Amino acid sequence: AQRVTQPEKLLSVFKGAPVELKCNYSYSGSPELFWYVQYSRQRLQLLLRHISRESIKGFTADLNKGETSFHLKKPFAQEEDSAMYYCALSGGSNYKLTFGKGTLLTVNP
């Protein structure tokens, strides 16, 4: 069974501070991990995927298979980063996404 856990419902940091949004997963095969973001009044959109190994808007995420984690990090948070962040896992023949419950990030001025 596929499972994604985001332990923090809410995360609040000050502008310029580092931020880390935690994500742990459970999957028997070789998973693909994603971070999706939903800004206020906007639709859910892809932020980054582990296979790309890229940095988007200053965010990075490393897949740690030993710890089954895919934490999202940014060294210096900006106010415009305030949003709902969802970690998601894709696996199986239909490539459906299994989502965590999300973390609401608030970056204070």
| Residues lying near another protein in the complex (CB under 8 A) | 4, 32, 43-46, 49, 51-52, 86, 90, 93-102
* Residue placing its CB nearer to another protein in the complex, 75 or 92: 92
**Amino acid making up residue 104:** L
CB of 32: closest distance to another protein in angstroms?
6
What is the distance between the alpha carbons of residues 82 and 88, in angstroms, rounded to a whole number?
A: 19
CB of 80: closest distance to another protein in angstroms?
20
* Residue placing its CB nearer to another protein in the complex, 57 or 96: 96
Q: Name the nearest CA neighbour of 100 among 13, 19, 25.
A: 25
CB of 36: closest distance to another protein in angstroms?
8
Bridging pattern class, strands 60-61 and 10-14? unpaired
* Residue placing its CB nearer to another protein in the complex, 36 or 107: 36
Contact 107, 79 (CB under 8 A): yes
Residue 60 phi, psi dihedral angles, 5° rounding:
-135, 160
CB of 43: closest distance to another protein in angstroms?
5
What is the distance between the alpha carbons of residues 102 and 21, in angstroms, rounded to a whole number?
A: 10
* Residue placing its CB nearer to another protein in the complex, 65 or 101: 101
